[in-house]
Amino acid sequence: MDEMKSVTLGDLADAREQFAGERANVVAKNAVTAQGIRQVARVPEAVAANTGTFDVEVRQGKRCDQKRSGRCWMFASLNTMRTRIIERYNLKTYELSQAYPLFYDKVEKSNWFFENILDTLDEPLDGRLMAHLLADPISDGGQWDMFRALVEKYGVCPKEAMPETACSSNTQEMDRYLTRYLRGAAKRLRESHAAGVGADDLRAMKKEMMGEVTSLLITCLGEPPQSFDVRVRDKDDDLVLTGTYTPQEFFKKVVDMPVADYVSIISAPTADKPFGHTYTVSRLGNVVEAGGVRYLNLPIDRLKSIAIAQLQAGLPVWFGCDVAQSYISKEGIMDTAALDVDGLFGFPVEGCMSRAERLDYGESLMTHAMVLEGVNLDAEGKPTLWKVENSWGDERGKDGFDSITDAWFDQYVYQVVVDKRFLAEDERKTFETEEAHVLAPWDPMGSLAR
């Protein structure tokens, strides 16, 4: 046995002896085995420092709940839109249907998947690209550009016009069966191609498959409304909005948000993504005719200053982050100082890598989208604490909203979506004119859509 390669009994004995020789290790063991890591690592002073009062704040309505689904990006997007309705019509709260874009996203993602399959018919089935395409073809996740494509094509509707169903509230079963169908359809397309079936016939097969996809989705989610009646009363119980609308009309006339002006800014400090340039993720999207995603990569301090400018203008900010890191869910606190995991273990665990290294080594990526709706500023105008509208109902955090310390923002916020009027002139020009650098399909900047 090569003792330099193997874990020897002597190695383990030495480690146990060293562990037992430190009083703090024994106390930590007793506490963690009884209560768990995060409970024991919790720092009460840091938790207490997270206030519920903010200098700049955009008032939203009642908290929404995505339940057991991965629709955070849809909820965050719709929550940035409902702000306009609440303010314009003087409402206490308002909620747009989240089941409506879910239906069309699944339709468009299925079509996007088929187009990718038809484009890769000669790729080896055991290669990394095919493994990636087949791994999760109908994920609940998505990106702002994908949501914009949906509302520009299909509009939006009030929640009562297309309410939640069992399958929208808990998408696991629907996703599982739709994924199975799509993989089976991909198999048929590839085998037909291998047997010599021509391109026109393959596309005819795809059209038939899309009909079956649509049928499955209607079964699970119901049929989306083509038009609907609206009756809305304001805080004073006055009837302020009535009429019959199509979803496209409702988006244009009632929401009235210039979504084409809203752009995605990321901050990825890795060597493959120099700041000041635009990027896209290969084969990531949903609506084929709208294209894929587009990002401008800027330093994290620029993301903050742009977000603050938009909040000060009375507009919330869609953002993407790695939500589970240093997160105390009961109090709704994201704070790198609130959990002292490294102090608990006695060596660097959370602190063993930088922001860039975590992205490079697969330790961190975008996992959740939410809405910035407030910020506290110090005497120099620098942010200290951010208020966040989550989409996990009102029983978590502080009546459904969370807080993010600026130190946590530095480490785990990766994207904001802002009106391009808040960008500097050179940033706006770069976003609009530079040819985007193409990132691999599995790049961490595309993870929110997976």
Instruction: Identify which of 379, 378, 409, 373 has the alpha carbon closest to the alpha carbon of residue 300.
Output: 409
The set of residues, in sequence order, having a beta carbon less than 8 Å from that of 204 and lying 6+ positions away, is none
Instruction: Identify which of 78, 54, 48 has the alpha carbon closest to the alpha carbon of residue 65.
Output: 78
What residue type is assigned to position 320 of the chain? Answer: G
CB contact at 8 A, 90 and 240 = yes
Indicate the angle between helix axes 199-221 and 172-194, nearest 10 degrees: 170
- Structure-block tokens of residue 158: 């009030």
Beta pairing class for 368-377 and 317-321: antiparallel
Instruction: Identify which of 116, 111, 114 has the alpha carbon closest to the alpha carbon of residue 214.
Output: 111
Q: Is residue 72 annotated as part of the catalytic site, yes or no?
A: yes
Q: Is residue 64 annotated as part of the catalytic site, yes or no?
A: no
Active-site residue (options: 79, 220, 286, 368): 368
Centre a 10 Å sphere on the Cβ of residue 346 and count the other Cβ atoms it contains.
12
- Structure-block tokens of residue 189: 């397309």
Q: Is residue 352 annotated as part of the catalytic site, yes or no?
A: no
The helix or strand, by DSSP H or E, that contains position 36, with its residue range, turns out to be none
Active-site residue (options: 72, 157, 167, 321): 72
Active-site residue (options: 79, 116, 286, 390): 390
Q: Which residue has 């929640």 as its token pair?
A: 159
Report the alpha-carbon distance of residue 145 to residue 292 in Å, rounded: 7
Report the alpha-carbon distance of residue 149 to residue 419 in Å, rounded: 16
CB contact at 8 A, 139 and 449 = yes
Measured torsion, CA atoms of residues 266, 270, 272, 274, in degrees rounded to the nearest 10: 60
Report the alpha-carbon distance of residue 424 to residue 94 in Å, rounded: 33
- Strands (DSSP E) found in 65-175: none
Q: Annotated catalytic sites, by residue?
A: 72, 368, 390
